[in-house]
Chain A
Amino acid sequence: MARKDPKKDVVIVGLGWTGAILGMELAQEGLEILALERGEDRDTVPDFKYPNIADELKYGVRYDLMQRPSASTLTIRRTLDETALPYRQLGSFLPGNGVGGAGIHWNGHTWRPQPEELRLRSYTIERFGKQTIPEDMLLEDYPVSYEDLEPHLDRFEHVAGISGQAGNLRGKIIPGGNPFEGARSRDLPLPPMPQTYDANLFAEAAKAMGYHPFPRPGSIASKSYVNEYGMQMGPCNFCGFCERFGCYNYSKGSPQVCILDALKRKPNFSYKTDSEVLRVELAPDKKTATGVSYFDHKAGEEVFQPADLVILCAYSLHNVHLLLLSGIGQPYDPVTGEGVTGRGYAYQMNGGVKLFFKDKHFNPFIGTGSNGMVIDDFGMNQIDYAREGFIGGSYISTGTTNGQPIRSMSLPPGSPAWGQGWKDAVGEWYGHSMSIGSHGSCMSYRNCYLDLDPTYKDRFGRPMMRMTFNWNENDIRMTQFMRVKMEEIAKSLNPDIMQSSFKKSGAMYDVRPYQTTHNVGGNAMGADPKKSVLNRYLQAHDVHNVFVMGAGAFPQNLEYNPTGMVGGLAYWAAHALRTDYLRQPRSLV
């Protein structure tokens, strides 16, 4: 018999960025809130303190802050006729674990979507004609406009302390910013960080070619900063231990640094760690949730936690898994194209050019997570989809970061992998290379989706989630377009040696090398309940007291890193809850 705990007004599943935001916003309404976090508790001290955090092996290579596959993972296959196998050790993507979630180990890159990206289906048809959309592409409009979201994107940027340069302030193009971005209602809270040598070389070369370089916007404080919750950030010291590490210096935005200490002071908010939610419990008519069941690892028992409102704030993949296990939304079937839960999983299409210079010193260990200069001249709203033969776009950037030697040892093509030749090469080339990277869109397709695995179970005996994903030719054409543009910039810098790495036609997804932790889709937001799980307020179409935060709501991926959009959507949903739903709980559309 499961333990039953006293009822709460709100239960939040997962205490990362979105859990902290929703906790803070709803705590201000006086509601009794409980957040359940499956991992351990974490804080800057003792968990990220210097010098212990400066440990590449523990955090960068052995993934000490990440989800342990032994506790939770999924299976992966590339095609419908392949047998999915467990993602047994981390590689391609690194979901977080514990209080703070992936908001601890990210790099801080914080972007807004382009206005065009939020109405991509309409934009594509209006500008280039319906025939440009490939038959198997699930191209959709987001059910919110840029104008709807702008105040909430702005709010997140000011909570997370973004350093950068606005490019479009209320419609006025500002020199030195991104001229292709949507209009901002106000400037970013902090000025840009200084730039390292490689970023400066790239920016000069790009500018000479007529492009528009600007500093990468990032949740890395360039100066001391206090946000609306009274939380303080200190200026970043370029320690170089950013991605995969917690910040010892209170400089990288995270739930800990930007929200949690203020939230923990609210008497009506509490949280439990080592509490792993197993499913959302539904009323017999399946139209409302009654609460959640979770496993209390400390007590060693299952608990039913009743609540009036359930907000899923786990990592996108875990939210989709919980929806599938709880029977919220009809599971997607790629054969019939029917169903919504799991539909439209997407990733990110990236590429890169490495440049080697015998006589230049880059000091790759010096950098912030968001260090770098960027051009968005080949972004989504700058490409002629009809002429180029793909729907998509990328930003292109350079910036040294995380240059520790186990993982960041770029050697020229043809260098031996071991032996005296390898040892000579690491001595000769460490610190003498830079790279130009592209970070681009990935559309959603009929055969890329999430469902429950027929074979593998997790430690609770629940079916694991199964990911079916492969690269698609549309996105490969996009990245090959970027390759040509990037190689032109790279050549203009006259490196001694150059090496390109871009997906080629027919490329199959490889789960081993790290690519990006931008796993999106699976519980899309949309106007049509036949194609989406959530409405425009991130509220489940079918179960009105379940809201789902995170990038699972993206109908297809953006060109950009998702966290800015995820934060903006969380504030947008919180606003709808506070100003409308709580007064009269019901479906908001």
Chain B
Amino acid sequence: MSDQPLSDWKPTRRQFLTATAISTAIGALPLQLYAAQSAAVPLDQYKPEFLNEAEWAFVMAATARLIPSGGNGPGAHEAHVPVFIDRQLAGKYGEASDWYMEGPHDPSADPALGYQTPLTPAQIYRQGIKEINTWCTNKHGKQFAELEPAQQDDVLTGLQKGDVKLPAELRDFFTLLLGNTKEGYFADPMYGGNHKMLAWSYIGFPGARASFKEWADQYNVAYPLGPVSISGERA
């Protein structure tokens, strides 16, 4: 990758200043952020907040197919995407607390009229995973997480194309799952995914640096510095 950020860059005055600004800002961050950071346990030791055992197994298996490990760049597991999804579903996103959720609902409406299910994202995951596992058990005799990777890909493709049918209330499940997986890959690590900023380093996004005045008119030169996170991590 020609645009991989350099890992062993030498600090310049400007970077020193940036680092100083970040350290100052860290001083103001709430303590629970440190707690969350220090609690970044290995993926196999993570205790889900929202997902139950079967749901966690599904999310682990599905995200591993949506962004596989191996080849170029981190996979969903290296980036701790399942942790991100679990925490999002446990929080106000999962509850749809910002969305208008009053009835009457018409979940079969033209999709171009937007989100019309009565269910929150957390409920869609809970019921959607159950439906899909039932479908997999009927078809293959096994739950999704126990299928071969190629079979899992077929199920995910079926969900994406609508060949694996879910009730209208759940029809946004695949869109949510894929969207949340990519969010967890690229969001700031404080949300549990993008572990060690691996996804940012992979694509060359410098994260929260957010100060580029001298770079604006340097044409066709890849920006050389690696990412920083909001809590001040570097990679």
Chain A residues proximal to chain B, CB less than 8 Å: 49-57, 61-63, 68-70, 73, 76-78, 83, 85-89, 91, 193-197, 200, 235-241, 248, 360-361, 363, 365-367, 371, 404-406, 409, 417-420, 422-424, 426-427, 430-431, 455-457, 508-512
Would you call B46 an interface residue if the criterion is a C-beta within 8 Å of the partner chain's C-beta atoms?
A: no
Is A88 touching B213 in the complex (CB atoms < 8 A)?
no
Find B217's partner among A196, A235, A420, A510 (CB 8 Å cutoff): A196
Q: Which of A69, A88, A197, A418 contacts B116 (CB 8 A)?
A: A88
- Say whether B220 contacts A83, CB under 8 Å: no
Q: Are A197 and B71 in contact, with the CB atoms below 8 A?
A: no
The answer to whether the Cβ of B34 comes within 8 Å of any Cβ in the partner chain is no
**Given A83-B106, A419-B153, residue A363 in contact with residue B222 (CB < 8 A):** yes
- Contact status B183-A195, CB under 8 Å: no
Q: For the complex, is B186 an interface residue (Cβ under 8 Å from A)?
A: yes
- Interface range for B: 35 or more
> When the two chains form the complex, which single residue of B71, B93, B221 contacts A424, counting CB atoms closer than 8 Å?
B71
Flag whether B50 is at the interface (Cβ < 8 A): no
The smallest C-beta distance from A285 to any residue of chain B, in angstroms, reads 37
Instruction: Find A87's partner among B3, B114, B181, B208 (CB 8 Å cutoff).
Output: B114
Partner of B212, one of A237, A430, A510: A237
A88 lies within 8 A of B115 (CB): yes
Residues of A within 8 A of B203 (CB): 405, 426-427, 430-431
Q: How far is the CA of A69 from the CA of B215 in the complex (A)?
A: 39
Name, among B67, B110, B213, B232, the residue most crowded by chain A CB atoms within 10 Å (CB to CB): B213
Distance between B96 CB and nearest chain A CB, rounded to angstroms: 8
Contact B156 A418 (CB under 8 A): yes
A422 touches B230 (CB 8 A): no
Which stretch in B53-61, B97-105, B130-138 binds the other chain?
Answer: B97-105
Chain B residues positioned under 8 Å from A51 (CB to CB): 21-22, 25, 208, 210, 228, 230, 232
Whether A427 contacts B219 in the complex (CB less than 8 A), given A70-B97, A422-B67, comes out as no
**Alpha-carbon distance A504/B183, docked complex (angstroms):** 31
Beyond known contacts A49-B25, A404-B186, A430-B205: 7 more, CB 8 A cutoff:
A51-B208, A51-B232, A70-B96, A85-B106, A86-B102, A418-B67, A419-B153
Q: How far is the CA of A426 from the CA of B72 in the complex (A)?
A: 10
Question: Bound complex: CA of A88 vs CA of B73, how far in Å?
Answer: 36
Q: Does B39 contact A (CB under 8 A)?
A: no
The A-contacting residues of B in range 209-235, CB under 8 angstroms, are 209-213, 215-217, 219-223, 228, 230, 232
| B216-A56 in contact (CB<8A) | no
| B72-112 vs A, Cβ < 8 Å mask (1 yes, 0 no) | 11010000000000000000010011111110101001111
The verdict on B188 contacting chain A, using a C-beta distance below 8 Å, is yes
| Bound CA span A195–B70, Å | 38
A contacts with B: majority SS: loop
Contact present for A238 and B73 (CB under 8 Å): no
How far is it, in angstroms, between the C-alpha of A70 and the C-alpha of B100 when the chains are bound?
4
Bound-state Cα–Cα, A62 to B206, Å: 21
Q: Across the interface, do B216 and A195 meet the contact criterion of CB distance under 8 Å? A: yes
A424 in contact with B102 (CB, 8 Å): no
Complex: how many Å from CA A448 to CA B215?
Answer: 45
Q: How far is the CB of B226 from chain A (nearest CB, A)?
A: 13
Q: Which residues from chain B contact A197 at a C-beta distance below 8 Å?
A: 217, 219-220
Assuming the A-B contacts A57-B188, A417-B178, A419-B68, are A194 and B156 also in contact, with contact meaning beta carbons closer than 8 angstroms in the complex? no
In the complex, A409 Cα to B183 Cα: how many Å? 12
Of B116, B213, B220, the residue contacting A237 (CB under 8 A) is B213
| A85 touching B219, Cβ below 8 Å | no
Name the residue of chain A whose CB is nearest to the CB of B153.
Answer: A419
Cα A360 to Cα B221 in complex, Å, equals 8
Q: Given A85-B114, A419-B68, are A366 and B25 also a contact pair (CB < 8 Å)?
A: no
Q: In the complex, what residue of chain B is closest to A361 when comparing beta carbons? A: B222
Cα A423 to Cα B66 with chains together (Å):
9
Contact between chains at A512 and B106 (CB < 8 Å): no
In the complex the two chains form, what is the Cα distance from A193 to B99 in whole Å?
38
B31: interface (CB < 8 Å): no
B186 touches which one: A68, A406, A417, A508 (CB < 8 A)? Answer: A406
Residue of A nearest to B191 (CB): A57
List the A residue with the shortest CB-CB distance to B230. Answer: A51
For the complex of A and B, the 8 pairs showing the least CB-CB separation, nearest first, are: A54-B208, A239-B210, A57-B187, A510-B112, A69-B100, A430-B203, A197-B219, A366-B212
Q: Chain B CB within 10 Å — which of A63, A73, A88, A197 has the most?
A: A88
A85-B106, A240-B210, A430-B203 known; A194-B178 Cβ under 8 A: no
Which B residues between 185 and 214 are near A, CB-CB below 8 angstroms? Answer: 186-188, 191, 199-200, 202-213
Asked if residues A423 and B216 are in contact (CB atoms below 8 Å), the reply is no
* Cβ contacts under 8 Å, A57 to chain B: 183, 187-188, 191
Q: Contact: B98 with A91, CB < 8 Å?
A: no
* In the bound complex, CA of A193 to CA of B102 (Å): 46
Q: 19 A-B residue contacts at CB 8 Å?
A: A50-B25, A53-B210, A57-B191, A62-B98, A63-B98, A76-B113, A78-B112, A83-B106, A85-B106, A86-B100, A200-B219, A248-B210, A405-B186, A406-B186, A406-B187, A419-B66, A423-B75, A426-B203, A430-B205
- CA gap between A87 and B183 in the complex, in Å: 23
Judging by beta carbons under 8 Å apart, are A427 and B73 in contact? Answer: yes
Q: Give, as a whole number of angstroms, the nearest-CB distance from A10 to chain B.
A: 32
What CA separation (Å) do A108 and B110 show in the bound complex? 34
B213 CB contacts on chain A under 8 angstroms:
235-238
Structural contact, A68 and B98, CB atoms closer than 8 A: yes
Instruction: Tell me whether A89 and B104 are in contact (CB under 8 A).
Output: no
A404 touches B205 (CB 8 A): yes
B98 touches A69 (CB 8 A): yes
Contact A88-B93, Cβ < 8 Å, known A197-B219, A239-B210, A430-B203: no
- Cα(A124)–Cα(B99), bound, Å: 43
Q: What is the CB-to-nearest-CB distance from B233 to chain A, in angstroms, rounded to a whole number?
A: 11
* Complex alpha-carbon distance, A365 and B3, angstroms: 14
Q: Does B127 contact A (CB under 8 A)?
A: no
